[in-house]
Structure 1
């Protein structure tokens, strides 16, 4: 039973740690961040099983993590409020071609990371982006401008010119 309690506590710690560390996909991690995650995994295992190297102890720990993952998944599925709390919400990082510095600071993203993701999405310039949204899963969704209709300032310019 001690393994189940330890696994539950470590699950909560890992869950909170992942939430605090922010939204990053595995592919966006630096090599150092990846190594830290591997080391954290080993430390978690040691904290859960202590000196219990038995197959039973390992099975209990894994099943406890799976159980709590399933509970949180169902809670998110059944309650939109729980989903926002557990999974987070999308955050706008580019609006009408302008980078929102406060959103970048909050998620510890740099301009160069955003520009790299834009290039991977086939977008050459930030001016070509109407909206960019950091999704709860760590991916960035880009919505391209459509001939200037998305930007109110550009609409006024077009009306004045036309």
Structure 2
């Protein structure tokens, strides 16, 4: 076994860092443009992180990369940018508004927000479906409903004034 070929990087470390940086940032912008609903139960950054780390690690594991070090540099770069984006979004709220998804009002005062529905490509029937998961048949009883950054819908009812759980209840 040639230990040198397993651990010696096949590309310069700076090139691996730049490749990981560009990939992370471009995919972050693309996923941010796609919308919140596509993320499912995870935040968009979480989905991005899982996919990129898995892909970067797989190259080193399956021998597609020239060395394990190449995969480790990519994984470390992706993890670095994940933490850096979160830190910048936390430290600078205005930048955070661009980098991180915020809850969007899907229903206000019992009325559908068509602009948000268009942005998220949601039909009225899909909104009704989500409301039924919260036990709501009539949109008129909804004070506010938000599409959360993780893609789930949270509901504030007029009659109770309390927030329903973000995750729908489990069926029996």
Normalising by the residue count of structure 1, what TM-score does the alignment of the two structures yield?
A: 0.72
- After superposition, the Cα gap between the structure-2 partners of 1:73 and 1:41, relative to the gap in structure 1 and judged at 3 Å, is closer
**2:40 alignment partner in structure 1:** 26
Question: Contact between 2:52 and 2:78, CA under 8 Å: does it hold in 1?
Answer: no
1:61 aligns with 2:83: no
Normalising by the residue count of structure 2, what TM-score does the alignment of the two structures yield?
A: 0.68
Match of residue 99, structure 1, among 112, 131, 135: 112
1:133 aligns with 2:146: yes
* Count of matched residue positions in the alignment of Structure 1 and Structure 2: 136
Q: Shift of the alpha carbon at 1:83?
A: 1.8
Alignment of 1:141-152 (within 5 A): 141-146=154-159
Question: Contact between 2:41 and 2:150, CA under 8 Å: does it hold in 1?
Answer: no
Alignment of 1:33-112 (within 5 A): 45=56, 52-112=65-125
Structure 2: runs of 5+ lacking an equivalent: 1-12, 43-47, 161-172
- After superposition, the Cα gap between the structure-2 partners of 1:41 and 1:113, relative to the gap in structure 1 and judged at 3 Å, is farther
The DSSP-based 3-state class of the residue aligned with 1:142 is: strand
The DSSP-based 3-state class of the residue aligned with 2:151 is: coil
Kindly report the root-mean-square deviation, in angstroms, between the aligned alpha carbons of the 2 structures: 3.0
